[in-house]
Amino acid sequence: MEKSTKEKILDVALELFSQKGYKGASIRMIASKVGIRESAIYNHFKNKEDILNTIVSTLSSSSLDLLMAEKPIEESAKKGKSFLREFATSFKLLAYDDKSEKFFRFMMIELMQNAKMREIFLNDFHKAHLKVLSQAFFVMMQEGMIRSSDPMLMAQEFLSPLFFYRMQATLLRIDAQDSRQVATLFEKHIDFFWEMVSL
């Protein structure tokens, strides 16, 4: 099925944003790469910021959201190590999904120069993940599955390597290098972490 013009605009904009950043990618560039007149973009979007907002609202919600939608965290967390494996797998899948990878690259470019993107990253991505994980660790502590500790610190300790592995996979893929070894680290991290915290 052929993509609509709106979808093509979003795909091209994401590609250009991931290469040049928000400021470096103009409406003219987007239109040229899509193969339409610049004025035609305004049939679908108010301006470049509207394009950005659409991309962000579509891609800042991750496969983790789908994981959380299946069951309440109070129930999912009772699976213990299995829940952590599902969480890490959803994180890993984002690292190897083309659109998510481009969005991640774009976020990395923008974090240092764009206050709005920092806010989105910190609130919609980072804090949201930490909240889910800290709730899960609290449930696991109550269930006697893991040792008692600060659930937020535990969430930080679990999430940080996942973020680093995702960054590493993205950097290798940018340079067309083999990232299979990094892919295995997600699973190894679960085993290592669970051995450290389980009773």
| pLDDT for 160 | 95
What percent of the chain shows pLDDT beyond 70? 94
Average confidence (pLDDT) over 63-88: 82
User: What is the C-alpha to C-alpha distance for residues 97 and 145, in angstroms, rounded to an integer?
Assistant: 33
Helices marked H in 60-150: 63-70, 73-76, 81-95, 98-110, 115-120, 128-142
Residue ranges of the domains in the chain? 5-53, 60-197
Mean pLDDT of 131-142: 95
pLDDT at site 196: 95
The model carries a pTM of 0.83
Mean pLDDT of the 110-114 span:
88
Instruction: Specify the higher pLDDT residue, 34 or 65.
Output: 34
Which of the four pLDDT bands, split at 50, 70 and 90, describes residue 136? Answer: very high
Nearest alpha-carbon partner for 51 in 42, 38, 61, 60 = 42
- Higher pLDDT among residues 144 and 53, named by residue: 144
Q: How far apart are CA 194 and CA 52, in angstroms?
A: 39
Please state, rounded to an integer, the average pLDDT across all residues of the chain. Answer: 89
Spell out the CATH class of 60-197: mainly alpha
| DSSP character at residue 113 | T
Span 129-154, mean pLDDT? 95
Least confident of 61-65, 95-99, 102-106: 61-65
What pLDDT, on a 0 to 100 scale, did the predictor assign at position 70?
67
Average pLDDT over residues 156-178: 92
For residue 57, with 0-12 CB atoms within 10 Å meaning exposed, 13-18 middle and 19 or more buried, which class applies?
A: exposed
Q: What is the mean pLDDT of residues 89-98?
A: 84
- The pLDDT value recorded for residue 64 is 59
Q: In whole angstroms, what is the distance from residue 54 CA to residue 58 CA?
A: 6
Q: At which residue do the structure tokens 């829940």 appear?
A: 83
5-53 topology per CATH: Arc Repressor Mutant, subunit A (1.10.10)
> Residue 65: pLDDT above 70?
no
